[in-house]
Structures are given as C-alpha cells and as structure tokens.
Chain A
Amino acid sequence: MEVGQMQRRLMDYTKSLFMEGFLDGQFLQLQQLQDESNPDFVVEVVSLFFDDSEKLLNDLTMALDQPNVDFKKVDAHVHQLKGSSSSIGAQRVKNACIAFRNFCEEQNTEACLRCLQQVKQEYYLAKNKLESLFRLEQQIVAAGGSVPIMEMGF
C-alpha cells in the first residue's frame, strides 16, 4: 500500500471513530498540541491513559469485590477514570463512568458491578481502536509519509 492510500485509510478510520462516539473533540485538541518538539505527544499521552486506567480498573474490581463495599472509594475511582478518559477524548468510556457514578450514589452493588463491566468493555474497545490508529500512523511514517492532521471540519 502506498503512502497516499495509507493516509486516506487513516483519515477514514479516524473519522469513523469520531462518528461512532469513541473519540471526541478533545482528541483533536491533543493532535493539535503535537508539534515538532513533541512528535509523539499523542501516543505518549494515550499511553499514560492506558496505564492509569488499567490501574483504576483493577482498583475498582477489588473495591467491588469486598464484602462491605466502600462506595465512597468506588466513586472516587470512577471519578478519576472519568477525568482521565475525558483527557484524551475517550467519550464512550467517560459516558460509562457517568452512569457508574449514579449507581455508586445509590450504593447498589449489583448495578455497580454491571457498570464496571460496561466501563471495562468500553475501555478495551477504545484501547483497541486507538492502537489501530497508531499503527496506521506508524506505517505511514515508516513508508516515508506524514501523518495527516484531522481538521475539526466535521
């Protein structure tokens, strides 16, 4: 596949991610922040997000696994996850967190467990998509091309 084609594929893929709500405007902001002084900025930030989120998800799993669930703590974790997902524009993850928090307030363990599942699912999906995106970018760069920057046109 030649560079032009790869670039088009990348553009289409990115667009679909936005359309499907996986990513929001914040992701574009990140892309715009990237510059020559920091060519891997987006990848770095997203990697940070992955690491942090996985830790949070583990903490959440453990917290909900307790005989006496500390909902305050659970809520705190979810709040954090909500915050970091918003940082990279992982919209669906963020939305799942919002729903999760409501059940924390109700102190409904069952519902919380279901929410946790939901959040995990969204997270892994987002992770997959982003990794694919980055792979595409890498391929383009490897082929000597440059990564097209999405404009906030749509």
Chain B
Amino acid sequence: MGVESGFSSPRNDVFPAGLRVLVVDDDPTWLKILEKMLKKCSYEVTTCCLAREALNLLRERKDGYDIVISDVNMPDMDGFKLLEHVGLEMDLPVIMMSVDGETSRVMKGVQHGACDYLLKPIRMKELRNIWQHVFRKKIHEVRDIESLEGIESIHMTRSGSDMFDDGHLLGGEDITSVRKRKDADNKHDDKDLSDPSSTKKARVVWTVDLHQKFVKAVNQIGFDKVGPKKILDLMNVPWLTRENVASHLQKYRLYLSRLQKESDIKNSFTGMNHSDPSSKDSTASFGHHNSMNVMQDDLSNGAYSFSVNNSLAQNVDLKGHEGDRKGITSVPVAEPKGALSIDIPDPNKAKSSHISFDHSLGSVDSGLNFASFNSTNLVQYSWSKIPEIQFKQECEPLQLENGFSQLPLPGSHHHMQTEYLQPSASISSGPSITEKEASSSRIEVKPMYDEYGRNHVKHLSPMEAVDLFPVQSKNHTLHNQVFEPISTSTSSMKSPDVSLNWLTDLEFAQRNLNGGAGIPFTSLSEDIQVCWLQEYSALDKGLFA
C-alpha cells in the first residue's frame, strides 16, 4: 500500500493537526476511505494492508507514528496480536476497528489494550477525535516517568530530593506536583497485588524496592537482551506478573530514551560515549540525571576523559569493571531534572554516596568533558607531581558517587576521577578512596594546588573539601573539593562549547604546569564545577571541613 513519506517529527504547535496515523486494514476499499477521512482531519496518514508490514514500518521508525488504527480481522495476523505487539514494542495507542460489534469482540479488544474500538462504517467525526488517545497517553506517560524518576530519586542521597528544584523538572512543566504526589503514593502505598481475577485490575505500585529489583534484573540480563519474562524470573517477586513487568519495562525504556535524547543533544563534545562495551549497556542506571561518561582515551596511560552529558544510564557502567581500569561510568544527566543524581545502582554496593547534582549540572556536562584529555599530558603533569594519586579504581565504588570512573594516572594504575582532572583537586586523593585516605588526601591536595598556581588554590580554597576525589565515591568530601570551585562558573557550563574550552584549557594548563597554570586551570575548574559543587555542597555539608 502506499506509504507516505510523512515521517516528520511530531507536530507540536498545531496539534492535533499533523497527527501521524498508521492505518492497517486488509480491505482496500476501507483503506482508501480511511485515508481520505484522516487526511481531511489534517492528519498525516500512512496506510498498509498487512499486519506484518505495519509492524515493520513501526519498527523501522520507532518514533514515526503517534497512533495506529487497525482492523481486527486480517489475513496474515490477528488484529489483537498486532495490538499486543504494538503495545509492547512501541507503546503507541491502538484503535481497533471492525464491522463486527459484538460485545465479546469489543471486550477482547479492550483486554488486549486497545484504547478504542470503532465500528464500521466509521464516520468522520469518530476519526476527528482520535487525537485524544495520543494526548492522554502522553500525559500518563509523563506521570509514569515522573513517578519512576521519583522512585529513583529516593535512592539518591538524602538531600538528593531536596536538591530537586521543582521548577526544573520536566522543563518547567507543572508535573512536579503530580510527581511528588506520585512519590508519596509510591512510598506509602502498599504493594497492590495485582489480582488477575478481579475485574478491576489492581494497579501494581512500583515502589522503590520493587523498581530497584527491576533495575538490577535488567542490568543483570543486559539491557539489550532484556525481556519481561527474563526480568520477571530474576526479580523473583511472586505476585508480579509478566504483564506488570512488560508495561514497566516500556516506561523504563521510554524514560531512558528520553534521557538519551537529551544527552544526545548535549553530547557534542567528545564523542565520549565510549565505554567498555560490555559494561556500558548492561548497566542502565536509571535516574541519573547527569551522566559523566568517562571515556577512555586512547592514550596509553589510559587517561580517561570524562564527559558529562545527559546521556542516560546506559552509559553508566558501574559494575563490571572489576580490575578494569577503564571503567566508564557515566552518570546520566537529565537536563530537565533539577538534580543530578549519580546513583548508579550497584547491587553490591550500598547507595550511600549518591550524588545528586543540581540541574545546572545539565549544563555541566559540557564542561565535564574531559575528553580531551588527551591529556595524557594533563594527567602527567598533574599526576606526576603528586606522589600518590592513586585512585584505585574499584569498579564498584565507581558507582560512585561521583559517577566518574577513575582516570588512570599515567604510569600508575590509578583511575582518575573526574575530579582529578581538575588539576589540583584530583591529585590529592590517594588511590583508593577511603575515608581515611580522604582525609589524608585532603592534606595532599593542598600542595597540589600550589603547583598549579596560587590562583588555583584560591579557587580551591573556598571549598573545603580538598579531597575531591571521589574515586571510591565514598568521599563526598572529595567531591566537594573538586566541585566547589566549579560552582562559580555554572554559567559557562551551559554552553556546550564549554567542553571545548575546557579541553583547550587543559592543554594550556598542561603547558603551564608549573606556574601560571592557575589561569587555565581556573577556567578549567570553573568548567568542571558544573554543578557538582553545588551538589556536593548541598549534599555533604557536613563533610566539608
């Protein structure tokens, strides 16, 4: 059947005009009529007479359609089956049509998830209103995502949720109240066992714990290979059904893709999304709004470049890097979200040190691009001076709080954290960040700063946390240190170009290792500040000396 090339992005300002409809019907007469009718409604129509063809079209362009209208009786595939597929894979609203209006059929349609069931002959006026289904779904989706984010946010540092600036959620949409309400609901509701026998199906409340189990399962399976059945099995929650998991998975995917989109926009810098392929996909950490992708440089020393971008969780690979220096952790940055939460769920580790970043972090990601660290130099110079910068990189800790994977120090096995990049800050911490070391590193840091020039020190001094190196992520203080100075220049973070500046700065800094490095570093640090500082300071006020 004719396929129109109306694969434009969703129309926003003239909704519902331009609504992208996919019509599936094996009857050529109806197909033609529906096409005409829908066009008259100013919708963008694509027709297709086979269910399989429809699925292909939908899969090819995941985001190419807003709604699907399908006949119930089709030769190659049952309309209800198509309905299920579309619901599971694409999560689009589906309207069923039939010349048969028997109650049982209609009921079957609804049970399979149809958002409406139209009887043929279909009138224009019925088609005019189909946009309501798209709209309704969008609203619900937002709420669901919000509630999911809400769940995730609970994992964040205690102050994490405080960090959320309501106004920044969802780009200003007034969903926060809904979200907060949902959070409350999620926290306090009892798990509603879904009782398949009851006519009114009890809705499963995805509590923090449940969601956590879900995410763990997803991570274990591997995001790419995930499927409702596998997740369900792993989760081992007896009362949960496959359907519950399937729908939750849908929402999760939507959430991730939404954050991914945002990160894609921000991801200009370094193309940093490299991560150990193995780890990258497997750990989708949810709810991280800022992602710091530690990209591994090609440098032999294994310096990693961090790019903070909005990419999602997928980049977070916290686990799995045991012994692998190149741990790449990315803490997804969610632009719209006010706070960054670097909470990479690590089944093994407690989430004590989640860092939530202020939404300004979002802009930070530009700054955090250390990508260019090709800075082997950077590393070198900074590290060389420091006796110990070893940050042992434990994969787990990576999860870190800072969500940074350590940057390997040249010549050493250290993994540097992003903080390290800040010349002064990073160096000070000892290799493995433990609380003890933190304090000791704190001391170390100071001298480091000196190396970079007084200016730097100045920058740093306001922050008390010298030990910025979160490496192990246990040290919030470390983070603080690093971040504090940064806070001052959040504005610079906003522009995606910041990262570039940053890189240049780094190089510059390198050259100016011994003196006068202050300036370049300053800017660097500013760039790096990004919002970490704010975050940290808020988070761990107590940590700062």
Chain A interface residues (CB < 8 Å from chain B): 25-26, 29-30, 32-33, 38, 41, 44-45, 48-49, 51-52, 76, 79-80, 82-84, 86-89
Contact pick for B29, options A25, A32, A79, A87, CB 8 Å: A87
**Interface assignment of B323: CB less than 8 Å from any CB of chain A:** no
- Known A-B contacts A33-B37, A79-B73, A82-B99; the reply to A87 vs B27 at CB < 8 A is yes
- Known A-B contacts A83-B120, A86-B120, A86-B121; the reply to A45 vs B29 at CB < 8 A is yes
- Known A-B contacts A26-B121, A79-B73; the reply to A33 vs B33 at CB < 8 A is yes
How many whole Å from B429's CB to the nearest CB in chain A? 71
How many whole Å from A61's CB to the nearest CB in chain B? 19
On whether the beta carbons of B73 and A80 are closer than 8 Å, the reply is yes
Residues of A within 8 A of B121 (CB): 25-26, 29, 86-87, 89
CB contacts under 8 Å to A, within B1-30, are 26-30
- Known A-B contacts A48-B32, A86-B121; the reply to A80 vs B40 at CB < 8 A is no
A-B interface contact total, Cβ < 8 Å? 55
On whether the beta carbons of A41 and B29 are closer than 8 Å, the reply is no
On whether the beta carbons of B123 and A29 are closer than 8 Å, the reply is yes
- Known A-B contacts A33-B40, A48-B28, A80-B27; the reply to A87 vs B73 at CB < 8 A is no
**Interface assignment of B36: CB less than 8 Å from any CB of chain A:** yes
How many whole Å from A87's CB to the nearest CB in chain B? 4
Contact pick for A83, options B30, B32, B36, B124, CB 8 Å: B30
Give the residue among A30, A33, A87 with the most B Cβ atoms within 10 A: A87
Residues of A within 8 A of B233 (CB): none
On whether the beta carbons of B120 and A87 are closer than 8 Å, the reply is yes
Residues of A within 8 A of B40 (CB): 33
How many whole Å from A46's CB to the nearest CB in chain B? 8
Tell me the complex Cα distance, A29–B127, Å.
13
On whether the beta carbons of A29 and B73 are closer than 8 Å, the reply is no
**Interface assignment of B322: CB less than 8 Å from any CB of chain A:** no
- Nearest chain-A residue to B40 (Cβ)? A33
- Known A-B contacts A26-B121, A79-B99; the reply to A84 vs B36 at CB < 8 A is no
Residues of B within 8 A of A38 (CB): 36
How many whole Å from B126's CB to the nearest CB in chain A? 11
> B124-158 CB contact bits vs A (8 Å, 1 = yes)?
10000000000000000000000000000000000
A-B contact pairs, 14 of them (CB 8 A): A29-B121, A30-B33, A79-B99, A79-B100, A80-B27, A82-B99, A83-B27, A83-B30, A84-B27, A86-B120, A87-B29, A87-B30, A87-B33, A87-B120
> B283-307 CB contact bits vs A (8 Å, 1 = yes)?
0000000000000000000000000
Residues of B within 8 A of A76 (CB): 73
Tell me the complex Cα distance, A88–B28, Å.
12
- Known A-B contacts A83-B120, A86-B99; the reply to A52 vs B29 at CB < 8 A is yes
Tell me the complex Cα distance, A136–B302, Å.
84
Tell me the complex Cα distance, A52–B27, Å.
8
Tell me the complex Cα distance, A52–B25, Å.
13
> B314-339 CB contact bits vs A (8 Å, 1 = yes)?
00000000000000000000000000
Residues of A within 8 A of B98 (CB): 83
- Nearest chain-A residue to B100 (Cβ)? A79
With A83-B71, A83-B99, A84-B27 given, can you name 14 additional A-B contacts, CB distance below 8 Å?
A29-B123, A29-B124, A30-B33, A33-B33, A38-B36, A45-B29, A49-B29, A52-B27, A83-B30, A83-B98, A83-B120, A84-B29, A87-B121, A88-B29
Residues of A within 8 A of B120 (CB): 83, 86-87
How many whole Å from B298's CB to the nearest CB in chain A? 58
CB contacts under 8 Å to A, within B494-531, are none
How many whole Å from A143's CB to the nearest CB in chain B? 28
Residues of A within 8 A of B29 (CB): 45, 48-49, 52, 84, 87-88
Which 9 residue pairs across A and B have the least CB separation, nearest first? A83-B99, A26-B121, A87-B29, A48-B29, A49-B29, A84-B29, A86-B121, A87-B30, A33-B36
Residues of A within 8 A of B28 (CB): 48, 51-52
- Known A-B contacts A29-B124, A79-B73, A87-B120; the reply to A44 vs B32 at CB < 8 A is yes
Tell me the complex Cα distance, A118–B197, Å.
45
